[in-house]
Amino acid sequence: MHALIIVDIQYDFLPNGSLAVPLGDEIIEQVNRIQQDYDLVVATQDWHPAGHKSFASAHAGRKPFEIIDLNGLEQVLWPDHCVQGSAGAELTDLLDTHRVEAIFRKGTNPEIDSYSGFFDNGKRKNTGLTGYLRDRDVTTVSVCGLAADYCVYFTAMDALEQGFDTYIVEEAIRPIDASGYRDKRATFLQRGGKLR
Ligand SMILES: [Zn+2]
């Protein structure tokens, strides 16, 4: 079984969103088109309580994109985004979700950020995605979505570490920072990840 994991295609990560990924909307058509190539399709959704500690606004005197130590982990501070129940947290209506069998929400603990769909950062909290995929006899996963250099990358790295044969679908991802993604892509390939 080969599963497609669609990462965080939410309004806040699309143009005009609060944490917009440049040209993020360009991938939606591809993501819709490729779903038919997979045995199983799941999605992730960034889903933060208001006042989440990954938000710059939760730290007096801090600005978005500054880096701090958050409970022992390096943390980039973000603009407020994907607040539970807000319009920005919704998956875009342009995404075809007919084949999406489950949506894994992440970032629900106010103290820990959540780039990967498998674990919150530092592996302090498990979303259950590994168990779900194993129960469905999935051996191979492909990852697409937003943003390439954060949630796609960390989801793909955890998939590798959990023993899945892992691909990043490069036509269906966009980064926040292109040079940051190049470095992370090299690490992914070095660890045995593949591209398609
Ligand atoms: Zn987030």
Residue 108 CA to ligand 1 center (angstroms) comes to: 9
- Using CA atoms, how far apart are residues 80 and 24, in angstroms rounded to an integer? 18
- Using CA atoms, how far apart are residues 73 and 19, in angstroms rounded to an integer? 21
Tell me if residue 8 is catalytic.
Answer: yes
The answer to whether the beta carbons of residues 68 and 75 sit under 8 Å apart is yes
Catalytic residue among 80, 82, 144, 151: 151
Residue 19 CA to ligand 1 center (angstroms) comes to: 9
Q: Model confidence over 140-193: pLDDT tens digits?
A: 999 999 999 999 999 999 999 999 999 999 999 999 999 999 999 999 999 999
Tell me if residue 106 is catalytic.
Answer: yes
Q: Has residue 98 got a pLDDT over 80? A: yes
pLDDT of residue 125: 82
pLDDT of residue 120: 87
* Confidence tier at 110 by pLDDT (50, 70, 90): very high
pLDDT of residue 46: 97
* Confidence tier at 59 by pLDDT (50, 70, 90): very high
Residue 113 CA to ligand 1 center (angstroms) comes to: 6
Residue 138: both structure tokens together: 């999935």
Residue 39 CA to ligand 1 center (angstroms) comes to: 28
Residue 45 CA to ligand 1 center (angstroms) comes to: 9
Average pLDDT score over residue span 116-123: 90
Residue 193 CA to ligand 1 center (angstroms) comes to: 24
Provide the mean pLDDT of the chain.
96
Domain extent listing, the chain: 2-195
Average pLDDT score over residue span 103-107: 96
- 192 phi, psi to nearest 5 deg: 105, 5
pLDDT of residue 127: 94
Beta-bridge partners for 55: 78
Domain 2-195 class?
Answer: alpha beta
Q: Has residue 19 got a pLDDT over 80? A: yes
Q: Has residue 124 got a pLDDT over 90? A: no
* Strand (E) or helix (H) holding 160: helix 153-161
* Confidence tier at 71 by pLDDT (50, 70, 90): confident
Catalytic residue among 12, 25, 106, 144: 106
- Using CA atoms, how far apart are residues 143 and 39, in angstroms rounded to an integer? 14
